Amino acid sequence: MSDSVTKIYIPRDTTALAMGADRLAREIAAEAANRGETVEIIRNGSRGLFWLEPLVEVDTTAGRVAYGPVECKDIDSLFDQSFLLGENTHPLCQGLTEEIPYLKKQQRLTFARAGLTDPVSLDDYQQLDGFNGLKKALQIDGQAIVDEVKTSGLRGRGGAAFPTGIKWQTVLNANPGETGQKYIVCNADEGDSGTFADRMVMEADPYMLIEGMTIAGLAVGADQGYIYLRSEYPVAHQILNEAIAKAEHAGFLGTNILGSGKTFNLEVRLGAKAYICGEETSLLESLEGKRGMVRAKPPLPAIVGLFGQPTIVNNVLSLAAIPYILSNGGQAYADYGMGRSLGTLPFQLAGNIKQGGLIELAFGVTLRELLEEYGGGTFTGRPMRAVQVGGPLCAYLPESQWDTPMDYEAFQAIGAGLGHGGIVVFDDTVDMSEQARFSMEFCVAESCGKCTPCRIGSTRGVEVIDRIRNNENRAENMELLSDLCETMIDGSLCAMGGMTPFPVQSAVKYFPDDFDRQTQNSEGGA
């Protein structure tokens, strides 16, 4: 029995919870009480080493010692083997958390605090440089803030990679008319499969997003912000609301921020299960209380945005990079990366992968390094066959392309995209004609319906692929599919219809056998 308090960290992140973290926390508390040990359980965010979740960390004099993935059945043996002292005898012990290679090799700028802290503790946040960027921003004028963002080279992390500094400059210069109103909108719709970095920011370090949005408001003269959050993220919703209330109470948000006389109000708004509402103009329509129909551009949202007023729409990761940029200087951020892809990208390893999780690194790392060195191969132990990078509107990459450096231009050169940095791995049991069919099916379900090639074309796409899969007039139908893809690319207003063909075309191009049942049968039928 010891009389000092041992701190135990058990994440409250969605994935940790999905792997049983709540029950684990309750049972560890109960067992500690049973054994007369005094412990304090802190519900931190995740480090993003998701294959180890729930990852339990014990604070020791040597640092935080990690155990994972911990299940309730392990609790007894952990206590028996003195895990409260950080003993390394238990098979689940991973040693010092910071020394786990997966984490140690990363370049964490945006995710520097993720998993370290209680996400809603303002003290924790401030002890680790929190609000330094905001304090800096309060001392300089809007143009100087925008200049710092330009220097950073930051490009929008939501998918289109548009330079953030230029977008902010446009809103700064835009005339807001009589009302004088401008808005900051955070795109937290994170609809791409295989992506969870936005969610992690909101669940592990929400004040960083709040700080980034407040700085954006100061930069362009906007006093109202909205976070448009997908309703599929109930944990993020709760944590954001907790954090906003606390930040307001402590004077970091609301009127007279830190005594500066400046105002910035923030509200979370929920989406309602519509992928297209991640597209920025559709998102604005939704925020205005309408159907999420895509608007034609121009005018840009920067000039005519929410309720017709100049509006910054930025992805969570773009806004989350801002506090670092302000507090360390734009150049410090620009020193990472390659070519015109500067700074870091939080890559997200998902799907059939042994060590799935979040890996923040400077642009330029190759896909293969991520898959092999970090991912450690597939979860099923079978060979990898196809990797979809950048979400459901981006290409499937065959092994011959895995040595491409992760850089916007390098990916564009091979007809692929980085999107939001999501990487989804498939093993050799995947049927790529089924994946191609799904891309079309997803477009049928999620098209806003405004243009014919997208709305009708995707339905035809499903039908054509079905005929190919049934071996009906295969040659003619393959040609029809190719024409249809071209029509969707050329005739769609937004990237939903305009990019849905990319995964389809890549499947056809790199995995042709999967579209030919005869080949499959003659190969596999022996």
Partner 1 sequence: MTAVNEQMLPVVSEVISGLQHKPGALLPILHEIQNRLGYIPPESVPLIAEALNQSRADIHGVISFYHQFRTTAPGRHTVEVCRAEACQSMGARQLEAYAKATLGVDYHGTTSDQNITLEEVYCLGNCACSPSVRINDEIVGRVTPEKFDQLIDELRSQPLEVH
Residues contributing to the site for ligand FMN (CB under 6 A): 156-160, 162, 187, 189-191, 276, 278-280, 313-315, 318, 494-496
Q: Choosing among partner 1, ligand FMN, ligand SF4, none, which partner's interface includes residue 335 (Cβ < 5 to 8 Å by kind)? A: none
* Cα–Cα distance measured from residue 387 to residue 148, given in angstroms and rounded to the nearest whole number: 36
Give me 498's structure tokens: 């305009």
Give me 302's structure tokens: 């920067």
Least separation in angstroms between CB 417 and ligand SF4: 16
Q: What is the binding site for partner 1 (CB under 8 A)? A: 14-15, 17-19, 50-51, 53, 190-196, 199, 231-236, 269-275, 286-292, 307, 348-353, 356-357, 379, 388, 392, 422, 424-427, 430, 434-435, 438, 442, 445-446
Residue written as tokens 């050329």? 490
Taking the alpha carbons at both ends of the chain, their separation in whole angstroms is 67
Q: Choosing among ligand SF4, partner 1, ligand FMN, none, which partner's interface includes residue 447 (Cβ < 5 to 8 Å by kind)? A: ligand SF4
Q: Choosing among ligand SF4, partner 1, ligand FMN, none, which partner's interface includes residue 162 (Cβ < 5 to 8 Å by kind)? A: ligand FMN
**Chain Cα centroid distance, residue 239:** 16
Least separation in angstroms between CB 142 and ligand FMN: 19
State which amino acid sits at residue 453: P
Q: Residue 520: how many CB atoms within 10 A of its CB? A: 15
Per DSSP, the three-state class of 78 is helix
Least separation in angstroms between CB 363 and partner 1: 21
* Cα–Cα distance measured from residue 211 to residue 124, given in angstroms and rounded to the nearest whole number: 15
Would you say 244 or 326 has its CB closer to partner 1?
244
* Cα–Cα distance measured from residue 436 to residue 369, given in angstroms and rounded to the nearest whole number: 26
Give me the phi and psi of 499, to 5 degrees please.
Answer: -120, -15
Across 151-302, the runs of DSSP E, i.e. the strands, are: 183-188, 224-229, 265-270
- Looking at 153-196, list the stretches that DSSP marks H as alpha helix, in order from N- to C-terminal side: 164-173
- Looking at 36-192, list the stretches that DSSP marks H as alpha helix, in order from N- to C-terminal side: 75-80, 101-104, 122-127, 132-139, 142-152, 164-173
Q: Say if residues 186 and 233 touch (Cβ distance below 8 Å).
A: no
Would you say 165 or 356 has its CB closer to ligand FMN?
165
Q: Choosing among ligand FMN, partner 1, ligand SF4, none, which partner's interface includes residue 205 (Cβ < 5 to 8 Å by kind)? A: none
Would you say 49 or 283 has its CB closer to ligand SF4?
283
Question: What DSSP element (H or E) covers 311?
Answer: strand 311-315
Per DSSP, the three-state class of 264 is strand
Among 375, 372, 373, CA closest to 350: 375
**Tell me, what DSSP letter sits at residue 480?**
H
Would you say 59 or 446 has its CB closer to partner 1?
446
Least separation in angstroms between CB 272 and ligand FMN: 14
Q: Choosing among partner 1, ligand FMN, ligand SF4, none, which partner's interface includes residue 313 (Cβ < 5 to 8 Å by kind)? A: ligand FMN
Give me 377's structure tokens: 């191969």
Q: What is the binding site for ligand SF4 (CB under 6 A)? A: 276, 294, 447-451, 454-455, 492-494, 496-498
Would you say 97 or 282 has its CB closer to ligand SF4?
282
Would you say 224 or 315 has its CB closer to ligand FMN?
315
Q: Choosing among ligand FMN, ligand SF4, partner 1, none, which partner's interface includes residue 438 (Cβ < 5 to 8 Å by kind)? A: partner 1
Q: Choosing among ligand FMN, ligand SF4, partner 1, none, which partner's interface includes residue 451 (Cβ < 5 to 8 Å by kind)? A: ligand SF4
Least separation in angstroms between CB 280 and ligand SF4: 12
Least separation in angstroms between CB 309 and ligand FMN: 17
Would you say 35 or 273 has its CB closer to partner 1?
273
Q: Choosing among ligand SF4, ligand FMN, partner 1, none, which partner's interface includes residue 314 (Cβ < 5 to 8 Å by kind)? A: ligand FMN
Sign of the dihedral defined by the CA atoms of residues 392, 393, 396, 402, in that order: negative
Would you say 110 or 315 has its CB closer to ligand FMN?
315
Give me 291's structure tokens: 């159907």
Would you say 375 or 461 has its CB closer to ligand SF4?
461
Per DSSP, the three-state class of 261 is coil
